[in-house]
Amino acid sequence: MDLPYLRAGSGKPLVLVHGYLGGSAQWADQIAAFAPTHDVIAPGLPGFGQAATLPGPSSIADFAAAVMGCIDGLGIGNFTLLGHSMGGMIVQEMAARHGSRIDGLVLYGTGPLGLMPDRFEPIETSQARLEADGVTATADRISATWFREGAAGQGYIPTRDIARMAHPEAAHNALVAMRDWDGRGALHRLPKRCRIIWGDHDRSYRWPQVNALWAGISGAELAVIPGASHAAHMEKPALFNALLQDFLQSS
């Protein structure tokens, strides 16, 4: 499967993996910020964004294999890896399987368990509402939960527009993939050079999920962005980018 991707810059590779109902275009600010110093690659997950025509997997392992296939196809050896939300689950799977190639791991707005008991709504509810309401209404509704100010939040409109591009079957399959995934048993295999980034108003991945990562990954660092929700990289891009830059320079 040949994934579309955005790529800019030169230097050490930095791979950015988006989450559920996301797309590579959501990383526009980070691509611009880090292209002067890094080879920034943002793959589109199959079934979403610019990759919406591709079949959407129903397992996190298959998403991880697709992203690794994209990286391998570009001839990249070692790289720093960042995953957001469901993308954070995907990069955990990648790091557990290919740890020797990961120079650093950033887990952003994510956790080690797909079936999140304290998510803004149960995954089963999201599945039922997706089937009843369709992708557009679901994209609008769920995207609003990612911002502290809801639909009035900075970055909501472009995020919503990317979310609307998702293929309906892919949106359904990805919820199944999250529901069935549990990465807690592999946390000890993740790279010790790891930073966890979390917005303190995140309604998708609440503190118990974040704390499980922090406690389960030996040597992991925790950075909390105050006053931000699930899309902190759009709500507070300067602070988010500073935390990422600090991690990249700490090597």
Write the pLDDT tens digit of every residue in 59-71: 999 999 999 999 9
Average pLDDT over residues 12-41: 98
Provide the CATH number for the domain around residue 17. Answer: 3.40.50.1820
Q: What is the pLDDT of residue 251?
A: 65
Read off the tokens for 184: 């807690």
- Give yes or no for a contact between 104 and 227, defined as CB atoms under 8 angstroms apart: no
Query: 114-128, 180-194, 235-249: which has the minimum mean pLDDT?
Result: 114-128
Residues in CB range of 51: below 8 A, 6 or more apart = 3, 4, 23, 43, 44, 45
- As a whole number, the mean pLDDT across the chain is 96
Residues in CB range of 126: below 8 A, 6 or more apart = 138, 142, 175
For the chain, the domain total comes to 1
Boundaries of domain holding 130: 5-249
Write the pLDDT tens digit of every residue in 34-58: 999 999 999 999 999 999 999 999 9
Read off the tokens for 116: 């999140």
* 75 backbone φψ class: left, alpha, beta (φ>0; ψ -120 to 50): left
Write the pLDDT tens digit of every residue in 170-219: 999 999 999 999 999 999 999 999 999 999 999 999 999 999 999 999 99
In degrees to the nearest 10, what's the CA dihedral of 34, 64, 1, 15? 10
Collapsing DSSP states into helix, strand and coil, what is residue 107?
strand
User: What's the predicted TM-score (pTM) here?
Assistant: 0.97
Strand order in the sheet with 102-108: 5-8, 38-43, 12-17, 79-84, 102-108, 194-199, 221-225
